[in-house]
């Protein structure tokens, strides 16, 4: 075939595709921002649905099942970050899928350099370990920040109900983890020592018949409060431990603990301020943790955490209680 014939053929193919796209009213920008993920198989995409906090109503579940039957291969995949995905959807069916989702007030997930769908464990909504409502915070964050463009790279947020940290808030750009600081009501305490045995951080010791807490070892897990049969150990303060600058990927980063005992409202304001800071300080397509590596986490703390009047965590000493081990190549 002559080169000219080939060019003409290609042109025809291109204009054909363009026509097809126009006829389908495909919005390519929406395609890139939304959760349509190109598969290895020709013309087929995985449709990622928006499932903040890993929560779905039964209506949404039914819709996902119907869509999988109708446009996929009758199967769904649960993404690592808690979203239901429908694989094997032909791009010609995008509009139909979008319309069906709209009918139940639902949408596809966010992709690209945007705030991604935030994740969370069951927290204290129904998990007995939880000391904070990670589901509620996560849903609030999603309502306010879903899909916001960062100007740089993806932005992942996760919320954990307690220091066990199942949702791995350490690996998120912004992580929130429930924490509670205990206080002893000495008059109610019988000195049974159960709290001392429950404390895995060895932060409690008995002195003159009463448990005494070493705050520098306490990671605010609240186990001592939960185990005390007499309600002598009570919650003095609770809120969110904030972590910033984590990521997974080929070169993972563990985040820095940057603030203690942040309230729900403060947490939402902090997401906004952090996005602003990230926008202004990141250099091109880098994650928040990479920006920290360049300009220093202290700049972020000074620019964002301190002006908000939050209880800043600034030193390695203050972070030691949340220690993480492993191979850090340092």
Of the candidates 30, 39, 190, 200, which one interacts with another protein according to CB under 8 A?
Answer: 190
Q: What angle do CA 91, 95, 98 make, to 5 degrees?
A: 110
197 binds, among another protein, ligand SF4, none (CB under 5 to 8 A by kind): another protein
User: Nearest-CB residue to ligand SF4?
Assistant: 161
In whole angstroms, how close is the CB of 193 to another protein at the nearest point?
Answer: 7
201 binds, among another protein, ligand SF4, none (CB under 5 to 8 A by kind): ligand SF4
Instruction: Name which of 316, 329, 320, 278 is nearest 173 in CA terms.
Output: 278
Q: What is the DSSP letter of 302?
A: I
Distance, in Å, from the CA atom of 79 to the CA atom of 82, rounded to the nearest integer, reads: 5
Q: Is 211 helix (H, G, I), strand (E, B) or coil?
A: strand
Residue 55 vs 93, nearer CB to ligand SF4? 55
241 binds, among another protein, ligand SF4, none (CB under 5 to 8 A by kind): none
In contact, 163 and 220? CB cutoff 8 Å? yes
In whole angstroms, how close is the CB of 227 to another protein at the nearest point?
Answer: 6
By CB under 8 A, is residue 198 in contact with another protein? yes
Q: Residues 161-200 vs ligand SF4: string with x where CB under 6 A?
A: xx-xxx---------------x-x----xxxxxxx--xx-
User: Which parts of 116-155 interact with ligand SF4 (CB under 6 A)?
Assistant: 121-123, 127, 129-130
The neighbouring-strand residues paired with 115 are 155
Q: Is 7 exposed, middle or buried (0-12, 13-18, 19+ CB in 10 A)?
A: exposed
Helix axes 58-71, 94-103, angle to 10 degrees: 160
204 binds, among ligand SF4, another protein, none (CB under 5 to 8 A by kind): ligand SF4
By CB under 6 A, is residue 246 in contact with ligand SF4? no
Instruction: Name which of 58, 47, 112 is nearest 83 in CA terms.
Output: 47
In whole angstroms, how close is the CB of 197 to another protein at the nearest point?
Answer: 8
161 binds, among ligand SF4, another protein, none (CB under 5 to 8 A by kind): ligand SF4
Q: Is 245 helix (H, G, I), strand (E, B) or coil?
A: coil
By CB under 8 A, is residue 194 in contact with another protein? yes
Q: Is the dihedral of CA 162, 52, 259, 287 positive or negative?
A: positive
Distance, in Å, from the CA atom of 230 to the CA atom of 42, rounded to the nearest integer, reads: 64
By CB under 6 A, is residue 262 in contact with ligand SF4? no
Helix axes 264-281, 288-295, angle to 10 degrees: 70
| Intra-chain end-to-end CA distance of the chain, in Å | 59
Residue 136 vs 226, nearer CB to another protein? 226
In whole angstroms, how close is the CB of 326 to ligand SF4 at the nearest point?
Answer: 19
By CB under 8 A, is residue 193 in contact with another protein? yes
Residue 89 vs 121, nearer CB to ligand SF4? 121
Q: Which residues bind another protein (CB under 8 A)?
A: 128, 190, 192-194, 197-198, 226-227, 229-231
């Amino acid at each position: 075939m002559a080169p000219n014939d080939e060019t003409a053929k290609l042109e025809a193919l291109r204009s054909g595709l363009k026509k097809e796209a126009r006829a389908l009213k495909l919005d390519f920008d929406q395609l890139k921002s939304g959760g349509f993920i190109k598969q290895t198989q020709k013309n087929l995409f995985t449709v990622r649905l928006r499932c903040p906090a890993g929560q779905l109503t039964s209506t949404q579940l039914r819709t996902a099942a119907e869509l999988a039957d109708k446009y996929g291969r009758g199967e769904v995949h649960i993404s690592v970050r808690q979203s239901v995905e429908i694989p094997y959807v032909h791009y010609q069916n995008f509009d139909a899928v979008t319309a069906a989702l709209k009918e139940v007030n639902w949408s596809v997930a966010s992709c690209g350099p945007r705030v991604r769908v935030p994740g969370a464990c069951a927290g204290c909504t129904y998990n007995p370990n939880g000391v904070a409502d990670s589901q509620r915070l996560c849903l609030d964050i999603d309502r306010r920040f879903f899909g916001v463009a960062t100007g740089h790279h993806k932005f992942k947020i996760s919320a954990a109900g307690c220091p066990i940290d199942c949702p791995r808030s350490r690996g998120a750009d912004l992580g929130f983890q429930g924490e509670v600081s205990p206080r002893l009501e000495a008059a109610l305490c019988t000195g049974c020592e159960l709290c001392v045995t429950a404390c895995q951080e060895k932060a409690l010791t008995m002195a003159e018949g009463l448990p005494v807490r070493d705050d520098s070892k306490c990671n605010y897990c609240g186990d001592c409060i939960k185990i005390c049969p007499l309600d002598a150990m009570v919650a003095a303060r609770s809120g969110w431990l904030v972590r910033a600058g984590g990521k997974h990927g080929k070169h993972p980063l563990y985040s820095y603990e940057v603030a203690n005992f942040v309230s729900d409202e403060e947490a939402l304001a902090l997401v906004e301020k952090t996005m602003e800071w990230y926008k202004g300080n990141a250099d091109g397509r880098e994650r928040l943790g990479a920006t920290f590596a360049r300009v220093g986490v202290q700049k972020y703390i000074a620019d964002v955490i301190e002006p908000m009047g939050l209880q800043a965590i600034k030193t390695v000493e203050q972070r030691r209680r949340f220690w993480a081990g492993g191979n850090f190549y340092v």
